[in-house]
Homo-oligomer: A and B are copies of this chain.
Amino acid sequence: MEKKLSLVGAGPGDPDLISVKGIKTLAQADVVLYDALVHPELLNYVPSKALKIYVGKRAGKHSYKQEEINELIIENVFSHGHVVRLKGGDPFIFARGKEEIDYAESFGIRTQVVPGISSINLAGMYGLPLTTRGINESFWVVTATTKSGELSRDVAKVAETSATAIFLMGLRKSAAISEAYALQDKADLPAAIVSNGSLANAKVYRTTVGQLAHTIREQKVASPGIILVGESLAQQIDFTTIKNIKQHVTQI
């Protein structure tokens, strides 16, 4: 029995957006610990004899604390062998993957990380450019909601720059995001919200940063969602005459 922990990124929704290495790793699992945002079809890659343990949040039920998940990993590695921790998106982008790796290694457990496509990469699927040559040269990824539930101070900082901002966990902080940009006289900057990732019920809403809260309320935007803000989002290259990748896009 090989005692090992593999952290695998499940991708941004669509189960076909996991990597080939991810499914090969799932096929070698003795135990899988999976999150709420993981697509259930991915469990089909797991051997039927493997334990499948749900550790996400469930409405009204017990949800696992990080410390409990860490303990579950250790217990299952020692009792069963190869534990695969399957996390939505990429296990190292705001996903506490490092804590799980470090904790397992403190017990001498061998670990590996299989990166995943993050919700950040959804912009491309919906034709939203994060950067445009000649317009801006960077994008800045901010978790709008901090550890303590407050607004990140980086929201104000990103509003001062020309970087395209990608806010994760930002739907409930949309009014504060608008305010940060309004303070810089940038309320009219183009914004977009991608809701439900790459799933069949994905929706993309185009709006302005000043109208974020209004759009979320009026359009009943569903969680999880990412918010994008920046000049680059409105850029159309001038030979564009026909658009056809916009089947999910609602123009506000």
| Residues of chain A at the chain B interface (Cβ within 8 Å) | 7, 9, 11-12, 14-21, 23-24, 90-94, 96-99, 101-103, 105-108, 110-118, 121-125, 127, 129-134, 136-143, 146-147, 152-154, 157-158, 161-163, 198, 235-237, 239-245
Question: Residues of B contacting A107 with CB < 8 Å?
Answer: 242
A111 and B18 contact, CB distance less than 8 A: no
Question: Residues of B contacting A129 with CB < 8 Å?
Answer: 92, 98
Question: Residues of B contacting A245 with CB < 8 Å?
Answer: 101, 105, 111-113
Question: Residues of B contacting A110 with CB < 8 Å?
Answer: 244
Instruction: Check A137/B127 contact, CB under 8 A, given A16-B24, A101-B245, A115-B17.
Output: no
By Cβ-Cβ distance, the 7 closest A-B pairs, closest first, are A92-B124, A16-B21, A115-B121, A138-B142, A98-B129, A137-B152, A140-B140
Question: Residues of B contacting A130 with CB < 8 Å?
Answer: 92-93
Question: Residues of B contacting A91 with CB < 8 Å?
Answer: 124
B19 and A16 contact, CB distance less than 8 A: yes
Question: For the complex, what is the distance from the CA of A138 to the CA of B241, rounded to whole Å?
Answer: 36
Question: Residues of B contacting A147 with CB < 8 Å?
Answer: 133-134
Question: Residues of B contacting A141 with CB < 8 Å?
Answer: 138-141
B106 and A241 contact, CB distance less than 8 A: yes
Question: For the complex, what is the distance from the CA of A141 to the CA of B117, rounded to whole Å?
Answer: 16
> Which residue from chain B places its CB closest to the CB of A153 in the assembled complex?
B137
Q: Which of B94, B108, B134, B241 contacts A131 (CB 8 A)?
A: B94
B140 and A98 contact, CB distance less than 8 A: no
Question: Residues of B contacting A134 with CB < 8 Å?
Answer: 147
Question: Residues of B contacting A241 with CB < 8 Å?
Answer: 105-106
B137 and A142 contact, CB distance less than 8 A: yes
> Which residue from chain B places its CB closest to the CB of A103 in the assembled complex?
B239
B133 and A90 contact, CB distance less than 8 A: no
